[in-house]
A and B are shown apart, each in its own frame.
Chain A
Amino acid sequence: MSAVDLSQFHKTFFDESREGLDAMEAALLALDAGSADTELVHTIFRAAHSIKGGAATFGFTDVAAFTHVAESLLEEVRSGRRPVDAELTELLLRSVDCLRVMLDRSSSGQPVVDAASEDLRAELVRLVSGATAAVATPVTSAAANVTGWEIVFTALPHLLQTGNDPLRLFRELQQLGRLEVVRAFIVDAAPERLAEVDPTACYLGWVLHLHGNVARADVDAVFDWLDGDCELVIHPLAEPPVATVAGVLAAAEGSPSPLPLPLQRRRATDTAAGSKPESAAVSVEGSSIRVGIDKIDALINMMGELVITQSMLSEIGETFQPSQLTRLREGLVQLERNTRELQESVMRIRMLPIGSIFNRFPRLVHDLERKLGKRVKLELHGEHTELDKTVLEKIGDPLVHLVRNAIDHGLESPERRRAAGKSETGTLRLDAYHEGSNIVVQISDDGAGLNREAIIAKALHSGLINASQELGDADVAELIFQPGFSTAAAATDLSGRGVGMDVVRRNVRDLGGSVGVRSVSGKGSTFTIALPLTLAIIDGLVTAVGDERYIVPLISIVESLRLRSDSVRRIAGGGEVFHFRDAYLPILRLHQAFACADAVTDIERGIVVVVEEDGRRVGLLVDDLLGQQQAVVKSLEAHYRRVQGVSGATILSDGSVALIVDVGGVVRLGRPCKAA
């Protein structure tokens, strides 16, 4: 097994390093905000240290060399030889950025070092004081870092029964480097009395030191057959032991001696006595999908239920008699429930906390504050709210744009805020929460609000409106989302990146969501993004129109009602409207919009489904309501082409295909139709 593919470990290294950089950044920003917490410095140092170690191990010597200098600087801070000031945090933040770029280049195999990174490295070197100016070369730092591995290997009792012999493992390890068996121990699970000992079971564990420049991947490869047959803790020899039970136990029992010691029984109390606060691992949320164990447990649980139901059904099936029909029905109901629950659990695996996106913003706000001379207090709420992974990946850019906009256009300069009688520091608040089957993300600022006059002037200039139009506040707010409306004249390099609010809206709509704004002049603006919980499955109302079946997403439905023909009014232009909760709503005849034959045309015989999107309501005329169903959305574009007013297709329980109504599209389409 000499040819181990290292690249699979590279991915882990890159993921972990990026997480480390995120942790560094967060800690640096907290330091910059004036926190005197020494733990922050430790966090930064540890992150830099492990990136350096990993980079050296995997041969990314440029990354290792760069991190080494940064680490030297951090070491001075950690030991109190250098004070933390704005200049230092700024430099370190830039180093974090630079390292991100270097990691990206390393992962795509491009040359890692460029002029910018070299300049920054030189700057770091200059700052590192006196004697340390002679920076260690990457080669020596790599060699110094990896002196070997401590392996705490605890066999589970059934290890020998799988044909795996610990001696074989030791032999293999010996081929990698010099192996030292520091200690062997009996596990707690071992029987107290000799008579109870199962001769084929293994109750032993070993603390091993493997000396030499050995890649972690090689060590892991030795143990790759033993997944589930042993407990394994591996950490570099140069490092202090990590705070895992086995690691702590190993450390707690005194200095290692080179020869096998008499067997010692591990004690639970050692765990408590031996735990070292400084070795507590930093946990960071990251880019890779990590599924909570509770979700997995729920899945396994559900799977068990499904198996029970399946065996019950197949039992009925084998000796089926008509008298068992009730049991069969019950079984099928149970199967349906199991399937639905299983589906929900599986979908939950795709759900990730929005915090991973929110975490970008402290840095963004920090940079913008400096650049624009504004003072901003960022408040994050609801970071644990979970979103579908796909939604999460795509919502990042629109959110960044909204945050830039809020700071650039929304919040005023400290002078103007003081003049307006507000505190000099503006507040930017990000919220995420559940609302029905939506996730709502809000970006609110306490700035000046939308500038009505400027927006109208701009819209006139771009020909979006004409001077005679009467515009309410909502209409004005709506203007900023129009394609062609761009505040390019006022745009700085920050917000005017060629992305307008129309792109934000389009991105959100692509995800099946909606975006709107509320603004109070002088008090601030709130942008609200509503997103569906998951993309793939919607709750829908199945409706009949002629021979066709259409699914209307349940979240958009306000009410369904049967109208009397005298409650319908014709208006100029031939459209139909009806009175609904103090407003007149247009009626959209779905059979006309989608050209369905043999549909009900008499309004009294059909049913009107009132739907809402972006605060606008329309009544959809359908023949009948057939029931409620969860629909798995299949893309129409992938198989056919995009159709206005239709967001996708799904397969009904009888196997036929139904189209899913895109309520937003239909509402926009929603000019009142002529009566047939």
Chain B
Amino acid sequence: MRGMVAFTLRGAGHAVTEAENGLLALDVARGGAFDLVLADVNMPVMDGISMVRELRAMDAYRGVPILMLTTESHTEKKMEGKAAGATGWLVKPFDPEQLLATVKRVLG
């Protein structure tokens, strides 16, 4: 999943940094400035929702778009993600075109 997302985005000319889980992603986020964060809801160690909450608490990420990757059946997860501060979501499964369209939608 992560590989597919990273591959697609790199292919479209974006610079991508990957992280294994929410906790590592927070370290990565602290170490650099990103225009967009994609977070799967289900991640080991720290899930996407907790990660979004932590990110939003950091000054540098208060206004940065964060997209949650979630499955259709989890509407409550979407709402939870929103409550944590996510910008929007991308419903799995999605194809590369959908991913790029959504990223374009956020980044302009």
Contacts and interface: CB of A to CB of B under 8 A. Distances in A.
Given A171-B108, A200-B63, A161 B56 contact: yes
Contacts of A228: 79, 82
B82 A163 contact: no
Nearest to A229: B82
B101 interface: yes
Contacts of B101: 1-2
Interface string A143-168: 00000000000000000111111001
A228 B88 CA distance: 12
A662 B21 CA distance: 57
B63 A168 contact: no
Given A168-B108, A200-B62, A200-B63, A163 B87 contact: yes
**Tier of interface size on chain B:** 10 to 19
B66 interface: yes
Given A1-B102, A168-B105, A227-B82, A161 B63 contact: yes
A194 B102 CA distance: 36
Interface centre among A224, A225, A229 (most CB of B within 10 A): A225
Nearest to A224: B88
Interface in B60-79: 62-66, 79
Contacts of A164: 65, 87-88
Nearest to A200: B62
Contacts of A168: 105-106, 108
Contact of B86 (A2, A162, A171, A172): A162
B105 to A, nearest CB: 6
B89 A225 contact: yes
Contacts of A224: 88
Given A162-B82, A168-B106, A225 B87 contact: yes
B89 A161 contact: no
B85 interface: yes
Contact of B66 (A1, A2, A163, A171): A163
Most interface-central of A2, A160, A163 (chain B CB within 10 A): A163
Given A200-B62, A200-B63, A161 B108 contact: no
Contacts of A172: 105
A577 to B, nearest CB: 59
B108 A163 contact: no
A161 to B, nearest CB: 6
Interface residues of A, number: 17
B88 A1 contact: no
Contacts of B89: 225
Contacts of A165: 63, 65
A2 B62 CA distance: 29
A81 B82 CA distance: 54
Interface string B1-45: 000000000000000000000000000000000000000000000
Contact of A162 (B79, B85, B102, B108): B85
* Residue in B86, B87, B106 whose Cβ sees the most chain A Cβ within 10 Å: B87
B87 A162 contact: yes
A427 B24 CA distance: 77
Contacts of B108: 168, 171
Contacts of A171: 108
Given A161-B56, A200-B62, A1 B87 contact: no
Contacts of B82: 162, 227-229
Nearest to A171: B108
A161 B61 CA distance: 9
Residue of A160, A161, A172, A228 ringed by the most chain B CB atoms within 10 A: A161
A126 to B, nearest CB: 51
A358 B82 CA distance: 42
Contact of B65 (A1, A2, A163, A229): A163
B106 A161 contact: no
B38 to A, nearest CB: 12
Contacts of B86: 162-163
A563 B67 CA distance: 73
A342 B62 CA distance: 37
A6 B98 CA distance: 17
Contacts of B66: 163
A163 B105 contact: no
A440 to B, nearest CB: 39
B92 to A, nearest CB: 15
Interface string A213-255: 0000000000011011100000000000000000000000000
Contacts of A163: 63-66, 85-87, 106
A162 B87 CA distance: 5
A168 B63 CA distance: 13
Contacts of A1: 101-102, 105
Nearest to A225: B88
Contacts of A161: 56, 62-63, 85
A295 B21 CA distance: 40
Contacts of A227: 82
Contacts of B85: 161-163
A298 B87 CA distance: 30
Contacts of A162: 82, 85-87
A163 B85 CA distance: 8
A536 to B, nearest CB: 23
Interface string A588-606: 0000000000000000000
A487 B88 CA distance: 64
B29 to A, nearest CB: 13
B34 to A, nearest CB: 11
A104 B2 CA distance: 45
A2 B101 CA distance: 9
A178 B67 CA distance: 28
A160 B102 contact: no
A168 B82 CA distance: 18
A162 B85 CA distance: 5
A179 B14 CA distance: 30
B63 A160 contact: yes
Contacts of B88: 164, 224-225
B90 to A, nearest CB: 10
Nearest to A3: B98
Contacts of B79: 228
Interface string A1-21: 110000000000000000000
B54 to A, nearest CB: 14
10 contacts: A1-B105, A2-B101, A162-B86, A163-B66, A163-B85, A163-B87, A164-B65, A200-B63, A225-B87, A228-B82
Given A2-B101, A228-B79, A229-B82, 19 more contacts: A1-B102, A160-B63, A161-B56, A161-B62, A162-B82, A162-B85, A162-B86, A163-B64, A163-B66, A163-B86, A163-B87, A163-B106, A164-B65, A168-B105, A168-B106, A171-B108, A200-B63, A225-B88, A225-B89
Interface of B: 56, 62-66, 79, 82, 85-89, 101-102, 105-106, 108
Report the 6 A-B pairs with minimum CB-CB distance, sorted nearest first: A163-B87, A225-B88, A163-B65, A164-B87, A162-B87, A160-B63
Interface of A: 1-2, 160-165, 168, 171-172, 200, 224-225, 227-229
